[in-house]
Structure 1
Amino acid sequence: MMMTRRIIMQRKCKLGLSIALWLVSVGLICAHNEKSPTALSIKEGSDDHSKGEETLLEDEDSEDLEVFRPTDKWQTLKPGQAVPAGSHVRLNLQTGHREVKIGEEAGLKYRSDGNRQGTMNMHGSSFTAEELKEALKKFKEGMDDLVDTKDEDAVRAQFRPIEELKKDMEALDMLVETDVQVMRRLLNQFNNTNSTNEEKITALLDLEYLVHQVDNARNLVSMGGMQLVINVLNSTDIRLQESAAFVLGSAVSSNPSVQVEAIEGGALQKLLTLLATQRPITVKKKVLFAVASLLRHFPFAQSHFLKLGGVQVLSELFQTPGTEPLRVRIITVLYDMIIEKELISQVGMDIIPDSSHQERLRQYAEVSLLPMLVEQGWCRLVPELLESPEHDYREKALRTLLAMMAQCQTQYKQNPALTASLSELQKQYQELVLTEQDVGEQDGYFSEILALVDSMVVKMRQV
């Protein structure tokens, strides 16, 4: 009996031990199957990480995990916290804790939390696509309401009606005058017997501004204005004479057809009369300007100039006391006439002269200027300009002396003052050239003048 009880007790102990071992095994299995409380969430997507979707390592709901918001500094990651995509995670070997900080991705991030997919900013606020669309729709509606609520009357008051603007533009068009209309009005103002001399002078100066244009100068001729201007040269008011000469010079400049009209209208003779008689130097400057413009590139006028004694008039004006400012202008007129004839005669071998060129050659052949210059004493007069302190005067004089070299070489050699002036100028400009070279100018203005002086010295030594 006692044996039987012992056996039963032993069997009960074995059974209890078996049950205890089974419970321990079940506990281990459950613990093995449970997700680690420190499980991390990672970012799933394409290789280029363009989508930025997050998922969990295990098949559990991401809503059960707290999303950790990292910063740019390392922070300890607590158990049960999920890490946003793009974050940097490390294991601190000293503490044994995981640490996390924000990755290079900044700004807006994207996540998928099962049923929701939207935009997440740095503060963790999420917006779905539908929420964004709704917000944008309300924003547009608000703008429309804002426009609709503006006071339309106040807006209209700030602008003028289009009909009123059109009327103003039509009125402006009526006030716009063409150059022809302006010139006709100025000529009428000049011819008006009630106009004062000041008003006539103003009209002439306005005409001078317009006739610089070739077509306007031709229109002046067709209106009869050219002859009117020429007749004003005979006025007793020197201010009107000066203004008329100014208009005439501007109208004929580089305008052959107007040059012909001026010559046929007797302009050249009237201009030479003003140069030969007592007139203020301001008047003679404008008259000399008109003469130069009338003669330039016009051999017929140059021939007429010689017949009217123009060279003698200029010679007397050159030697008149008080006319020093006019001297360089005078020799410039003569120099241009000499060079024009030389250039028109220098025709290249590859150029076939036409009939007009032959006619110009014939007309220039009738202009015998150089013999007349020698006769009028210009071989002696031009060297006087070398004594001027003005470099411009010296340059113009040297060029004119070289242009007259063929006719005046003998007289140059017999002029000791010219030889002395050239020697002095040669030394002076050699020093000035060195000064130019010191400042980096190899071919400056003084070098050009020195070349002219050297050329004069060489040609004077030639037999």
Structure 2
Amino acid sequence: MCLRLFTIVRLSCLILITVLLFHCCYISCQRSDGALTVVDNPGGNELDTEDGSEATVQEEDTEEDLEVVHPTDQWQTLKPGQAVPSGSHVRLNLQTGQREVRLGEEQLKYWMQQHSETEDKHPFINPDELKKAMKKIKEDLNINKDSNQEESVSSQFRPLEELKKDMAQLDLLVETDIQILRRLLNQFNSTRSTEEKLNILHELEYMVHQVDNAQNLCSMGGLIFILEGLNSSDSKLQENSAFVLGSALSSNPTVQVKAVESGALQALLTLLATTEHFPVQKKVLFAVASLLRNFPFAQQHFLSNGGLQVMSGVFQGDRNGSLRTRIVTLLYDLISEKEQISKTSLDFMDPSHEERVRQYSRVTLDKELVETNWCSLVPQLLGSSEHDYREKALQTLIVMAPMCLEQYRTDGSLLTSLISLKTLYEEMVNKEKTVEKETEYFVEIVELIDNLKIKIR
């Protein structure tokens, strides 16, 4: 019995020893699989896990000869086979699966202390010494600037004579605008080719848009050649000559005076009264308008030479309304220009303005418009199908109302046209509103009609 009990106790001890050995082997295997262990440590290096817990990764020493990483104050990723100095903080990023390292608290403290000592070693700069140094630098720069300014300018730019010599060797010719104008006029005078003359006129038209070039053209006698082109029997030469003249006259008082003195106005009116070519008529009207605008002396000569009668013939002969619109627009500009000058307050007048008022007082435009029947001609443009033509006619009729009031009131066709046009444009305004389109243009035309009807009453 005792032997049996002893045997059982012995067997139990063997089993217990075996279990303990297996347990120790299991723990040893778990420790040897990696050099990192994850332990709960709220005060250590934090890792975000799926359940929200925090973990700290501790690095164990290895006996292998590994590449040593020099950590900084920022987290950096550890590659396989790399080692870190003692005291460094190492963590396992559970999102990326990478190990990361940075300086430990002691290392970081030491690093910051060293950095502070390095900054303290920088020498202090005295503000007075800095001012003296800057003053000396400025003085040196001024001396160098004065001594080298002439050399720098001469090094950047080459003399004109030297450039001309170089270009002469390259068979190039440098021409100023005056030289080009003189060359073109000589070619125009010497050639008999119509095609070449047209090319020259085309180049001149491009150049005379500049005020100085237009004045230089006149001083060289260019107006004589242009007037010869107007008197030519070739319609192309007439058209292009009138185009050049109109471009040179635009907003150029000096050329306007010389054109009137050279007889350009009579030549333009003669060509306008005799030609039937639409392109020529259009360019001549452009030249006449450029000559008359803001030039009361030319306007007076225009009226005394029967300019309104010539315009009346062109107006009645126009079929598509384009020339009519140009003529009506010119009349509107001339009437508005004179009214604007007369409305200027006497308190703001200077001697030159007083002279302009005196010159405009000699222009009997109102009387001439009534005598040449323009009070009945302008309303004819309302019959056009173009909205722009109707708008120009309404604007001109309004400014002519003081001089043409009696004719307006007795002109039954005018009153009928105004009623029908107002109905038409009011319907167009309502129609455009339904489709949410812009109606401002048509509303303005309706307002012009109402203003004219008020003046007629």
How far residue 317 of structure 1 moved from its aligned partner, in angstroms, is 1.4
Larger Rg: 1
For 2:149, the equivalent position in structure 1 comes to: none
CA RMSD of aligned residues (A): 3.6
Instruction: Give CA deviations for 1:12-40 in whole Å, capped at 9, x if unaligned.
Output: xxxxxxxxxxxxxxxxxxxxxxxxxx999
For 1:30, the equivalent position in structure 2 comes to: none
Instruction: Give CA deviations for 1:310-333 in whole Å, capped at 9, x if unaligned.
Output: 011111111125463211111111
Instruction: Give TM-score, length-normalised by structure 1.
Output: 0.65
The CA distance in 2 between the partners of 1:197 and 1:100, in whole Å, is 89
Aligned residue type for 2:90: S
The CA distance in 2 between the partners of 1:252 and 1:287, in whole Å, is 12
1:387 pairs with one of 365, 383, 386 = 383
Closer, same or farther: CA 308–72 of 1 in aligned 2, 3 Å = same
After the TM superposition, which of the residue ranges 274-283 and 334-343 deviates more from structure 2?
274-283
The CA distance in 1 between the partners of 2:237 and 2:336, in whole Å, is 33
How far residue 442 of structure 1 moved from its aligned partner, in angstroms, is 6.5
For 1:406, the equivalent position in structure 2 comes to: 402
For 1:318, the equivalent position in structure 2 comes to: 315
The CA distance in 2 between the partners of 1:366 and 1:297, in whole Å, is 14
1:87 pairs with one of 85, 90, 94 = 90
Q: As a proportion of its length, which structure holds more helix?
A: 2
1:377 aligns with 2:380: no
1:216 aligns with 2:213: yes
1:460 aligns with 2:450: no
1:260 pairs with one of 230, 249, 257 = 257
Closer, same or farther: CA 89–360 of 1 in aligned 2, 3 Å = closer
Aligned residue type for 1:426: K
For 2:272, the equivalent position in structure 1 comes to: 275
For 1:309, the equivalent position in structure 2 comes to: 306
Unmatched segments (≥5 aa) in structure 2: 1-34, 38-58, 70-75, 109-162
Secondary structure of the equivalent of 1:175?
A: coil
The CA distance in 2 between the partners of 1:170 and 1:255, in whole Å, is 37
Instruction: Give CA deviations for 1:40-70 in whole Å, capped at 9, x if unaligned.
Output: 9xxxxxxxxxxxxxxxx9xxxx997754889
For 1:113, the equivalent position in structure 2 comes to: none
Equivalent positions of 1:322-361 (< 5 A) are 322=319, 324-348=321-345, 351-361=347-357
1:300 aligns with 2:297: yes
Contact kept in structure 1, 2:273 and 2:314, CA below 8 Å: yes
Unmatched segments (≥5 aa) in structure 1: 1-37, 41-56, 91-98, 111-165
Secondary structure of the equivalent of 1:236?
A: coil
Instruction: Give CA deviations for 1:373-413 in whole Å, capped at 9, x if unaligned.
Output: 11111111111111101011001100110011011112112
Instruction: Give CA deviations for 1:120-143 in whole Å, capped at 9, x if unaligned.
Output: xxxxxxxxxxxxxxxxxxxxxxxx
Instruction: Give CA deviations for 1:131-189 in whole Å, capped at 9, x if unaligned.
Output: xxxxxxxxxxxxxxxxxxxxxxxxxxxxxxxxxxx886675694232221211111111
For 2:421, the equivalent position in structure 1 comes to: 425
For 2:229, the equivalent position in structure 1 comes to: 232
For 1:150, the equivalent position in structure 2 comes to: none
Aligned residue type for 1:403: V
1:250 pairs with one of 243, 247, 251 = 247
Closer, same or farther: CA 307–84 of 1 in aligned 2, 3 Å = farther
Secondary structure of the equivalent of 2:344?
A: coil
Instruction: Give TM-score, length-normalised by structure 2.
Output: 0.65
Contact kept in structure 2, 1:65 and 1:81, CA below 8 Å: no
After the TM superposition, which of the residue ranges 263-272 and 404-413 deviates more from structure 2?
404-413
Count the aligned residue pairs.
334
The CA distance in 2 between the partners of 1:73 and 1:332, in whole Å, is 86
Contact kept in structure 1, 2:275 and 2:281, CA below 8 Å: no
Contact kept in structure 2, 1:68 and 1:83, CA below 8 Å: no
Closer, same or farther: CA 73–274 of 1 in aligned 2, 3 Å = same
For 2:180, the equivalent position in structure 1 comes to: 182
Equivalent positions of 1:44-59 (< 5 A) are none
Contact kept in structure 2, 1:281 and 1:323, CA below 8 Å: no
How far residue 453 of structure 1 moved from its aligned partner, in angstroms, is 1.0
Contact kept in structure 2, 1:338 and 1:369, CA below 8 Å: yes
